[in-house]
A and B are shown apart, each in its own frame.
Chain A
Amino acid sequence: MDAVKTKKISLIVLFLVIGFIIPQFVTKPYYLHVITMCLLWAYLASSWNLFCGFAGQLSLGHGVFTAVGAYVAVMLFNDYNISPWIGMFAGAGAAVLLSILIGYPTFKLRGAYYALATVAIGSGVVVLIENTQALGPFRVGGAEGLIVKLMGNAPAFFQFMSKQPYYYIALVMLIIVVLFAFWLKNSRLGYYLSALKEDPEAAEALGINVRNAKLVAAAYSAFFTAIGGVYYAMLIRYLEPNAIAGPMMSNEMVFLAVVGGSGTVLGPVVGGITLHAISEVIQFYFGDLAQGLHLFIYGLIVVFMIMFKPQGIIEILQKYYNRFLGITDRGEDEKSVKRTAGS
């Protein structure tokens, strides 16, 4: 028992140490930027997973939340000089409201219909942003997009000259969302979501208010996703409607989470980091070979993962993790481990 615990803790510490010292070794801004993007995608996939993975709802429109978060924060910053550190919570709040507004009518839709509704909402929002030049006193910028006002090195306004702070912020955000996911999975709501994912009718019969449970989880998910959107805006410093709200944004979150292992705490993190890293590496080395090659391979990986490892990469890691901990029998320990790391 204690040996297992020690091993677990040392593993966590090891990963944290690696996470925090990476910028000491990776000094080239480009590489650090790529690693930062991996963390951001791991974060976004985890945020999507909070609701969609845990409750088994296929939302293909989460780009709406990144967009709302990003636009609200950037508009407040550009036009009213409100720091994005504060604006991000306004953006996240707006996303939460929107998630409830969308959730009320859509949560009664079944599987495929829900997915279609989210696609339509996502596409609709892109069109709306592209055709809005201004919203009251705020500049939205329409299809040309919105440039984030430059302040130079201004930590109080979420702007840094070096890449390092961005890396650390992304890392901390990722740690927070993972801790939150862990807490959620093991909370009452987490059990409710697991239950209603399998059988909403049976869940309802056990006293679960299915719609409320979904609304709360969706609100959490929207909150975190929106914060990710704000971060993206501050990192790239430019909002392009299709990039921040469009299908690429929405679908990427889903693919990363599914390839890693949706519905698990660490799956989306693993998926986000590995798949995004692979895609970047291919683009870097073979990008000149043929346009679209990296996305082609990326798509193939997703296809084959869904075909052959539908539980995600986490399923493979789980085996090694258990072996590392020295757990072989189906005992109480395996279970507690599983809930921590996997299914």
Chain B
Amino acid sequence: MSNALLEVNELTINFGGLIAVNQLDMKVNTGEAVGLIGPNGAGKTSAFNLISGVYKPTHGQVFFDGENITGLTPYQVNRKGIGRTFQVVKPFGSMTVLENVMVGGFVHTSKRSKSREIAMQVIEQVDLKRKINSLAKNLTLSDRKRLEVAKALATQPKLLLLDEVLAGLNPTEIEEAVKMIKSINKSGISILMIEHVLQATMAICSHIVVLDYGKKIAEGTPQEVTSNPEVIKAYLGDDYEAVNN
């Protein structure tokens, strides 16, 4: 557990017979960006929900910063320093962008001015300043995803869990988002991201974990993973070919 920020051991959850996540071991080191990939239904989002406290694991532990955080509630996990986004974005629709982000900013301060300061900084970081007074429900998908990240960032996490923030974006938007995530990572926040857009994941992450049917089937550098015949054969298959072309 030397410099591991997040470490999960034998993480398992059982939904009435269906084992969504099975004996998962993985690590995210401080400052690192790790990708979690796998086909639909591989258990990626379940793994996120286990780490962030939405589900309680049937078996296994989650350690964060050397502390056992297994079984904490979502808000407690957040306060330990793990921010997360949701696959289906959850903006607070009738609040403005600034207010949305300030909600996150309030976690570490009760002062409005301080929260606003944090929010402004984060909004700049994700390049949403142009929309600062728009209602969240009026944003485009790409901006909603940025907002989702901004809200999580405003809670000043050490680790950011990103659940498919690139899905549904067009190539230009993906390029911008990749740049944004990289800069977040560079600013010292470790990242664990679930993604379907493989090329982008590889551009961001130095380490990739592959899940299938709830089990880890491979991990390593992007090169190692993509050249792993089992990974390609088992489920990346045509998808990966398509991306490479």
Q: Could you list which residues of chain A lie within 8 angstroms of chain B, going by C-beta atoms?
A: 186-188, 191-192, 194-195, 198-199, 201-210, 330-332, 334-335, 343
| Shortest Cβ distance from A339 into B: residue | B99
Question: Is A201 a contact of B90 with CB atoms below 8 Å?
Answer: yes
Interface residue count on the B side (C-beta < 8 Å): 34
Q: In the bound complex, what is the Cα–Cα distance between A208 and B236 (angstroms)? A: 38
A202-B86 contact in complex given A194-B92, A207-B75, A207-B155, C-beta closer than 8 Å: yes
| Shortest Cβ distance from B81 into A: residue | A207
B94 within 8 A of A: yes
Q: In the bound complex, what is the Cα–Cα distance between A206 and B152 (angstroms)? A: 6
B201 within 8 A of A: no
7 contacts across the A-B interface (CB closer than 8 A): A188-B112, A191-B103, A192-B106, A205-B52, A205-B75, A206-B83, A331-B133
A335-B133 contact in complex given A195-B95, A204-B73, A205-B74, C-beta closer than 8 Å: yes
B151 within 8 A of A: yes
**Interface code B154-172, partner A: CB below 8 Å = 1, 0 otherwise?**
1100000000000000000
**Interface code B10-31, partner A: CB below 8 Å = 1, 0 otherwise?**
0000000000000000000000
Nearest chain A CB to B176's CB is how many angstroms away? 23
| Shortest Cβ distance from B136 into A: residue | A198
B61 within 8 A of A: no
Question: Is A186 a contact of B75 with CB atoms below 8 Å?
Answer: no
B70 within 8 A of A: no
**Interface code B105-146, partner A: CB below 8 Å = 1, 0 otherwise?**
011011010010000000000000000010000000000000
Question: Is B133 a contact of A206 with CB atoms below 8 Å?
Answer: no
Q: In the bound complex, what is the Cα–Cα distance between A192 and B78 (angstroms)? A: 15
Closest 5 CB pairs of A and B: A202-B90, A207-B78, A207-B107, A198-B92, A204-B74
Q: Could you list which residues of chain B lie within 8 angstroms of chain A, going by C-beta atoms?
A: 52, 54, 73-75, 78-79, 83-84, 86, 90-96, 98-100, 102-104, 106-107, 109-110, 112, 115, 133, 151-152, 154-155
Besides A188-B115, A204-B75, A335-B98, 14 other CB < 8 A contacts? A194-B95, A195-B95, A195-B103, A198-B95, A201-B54, A201-B74, A202-B90, A202-B91, A204-B78, A205-B90, A206-B83, A207-B75, A330-B133, A332-B133
Nearest chain A CB to B101's CB is how many angstroms away? 10
Across the interface, B103 reaches (CB within 8 A) one of A187, A206, A209, A334, namely A206
| Shortest Cβ distance from B137 into A: residue | A198
| Shortest Cβ distance from B157 into A: residue | A207
Q: In the bound complex, what is the Cα–Cα distance between A97 and B104 (angstroms)? A: 30
Q: In the bound complex, what is the Cα–Cα distance between A198 and B52 (angstroms)? A: 20
Nearest chain B CB to A198's CB is how many angstroms away? 4
Q: In the bound complex, what is the Cα–Cα distance between A93 and B86 (angstroms)? A: 40
B residues near A204, Cβ cutoff 8 Å: 73-75, 78
Question: Is A205 a contact of B103 with CB atoms below 8 Å?
Answer: no
Across the interface, A186 reaches (CB within 8 A) one of B104, B109, B112, namely B112
Across the interface, B99 reaches (CB within 8 A) one of A188, A194, A206, A331, namely A194
Q: In the bound complex, what is the Cα–Cα distance between A203 and B92 (angstroms)? A: 9
Question: Is B78 a contact of A206 with CB atoms below 8 Å?
Answer: yes
B residues near A332, Cβ cutoff 8 Å: 133
Nearest chain A CB to B182's CB is how many angstroms away? 23
A residues near B115, Cβ cutoff 8 Å: 188, 191
B residues near A198, Cβ cutoff 8 Å: 92-95
| Shortest Cβ distance from A209 into B: residue | B75
B residues near A191, Cβ cutoff 8 Å: 99, 102-103, 106, 115
Nearest chain A CB to B34's CB is how many angstroms away? 19
Nearest chain A CB to B47's CB is how many angstroms away? 15
A206-B155 contact in complex given A192-B106, A331-B133, C-beta closer than 8 Å: yes
Question: Is A188 a contact of B110 with CB atoms below 8 Å?
Answer: yes
Question: Is B104 a contact of A199 with CB atoms below 8 Å?
Answer: no
Q: In the bound complex, what is the Cα–Cα distance between A204 and B79 (angstroms)? A: 10
Q: In the bound complex, what is the Cα–Cα distance between A45 and B99 (angstroms)? A: 26
Question: Is A207 a contact of B79 with CB atoms below 8 Å?
Answer: yes
A188-B106 contact in complex given A198-B92, A206-B152, A335-B96, C-beta closer than 8 Å: yes
B residues near A335, Cβ cutoff 8 Å: 96, 98, 133
B residues near A203, Cβ cutoff 8 Å: 103
Q: In the bound complex, what is the Cα–Cα distance between A195 and B95 (angstroms)? A: 8
Q: In the bound complex, what is the Cα–Cα distance between A142 and B211 (angstroms)? A: 66
| Shortest Cβ distance from A204 into B: residue | B74
A residues near B95, Cβ cutoff 8 Å: 194-195, 198
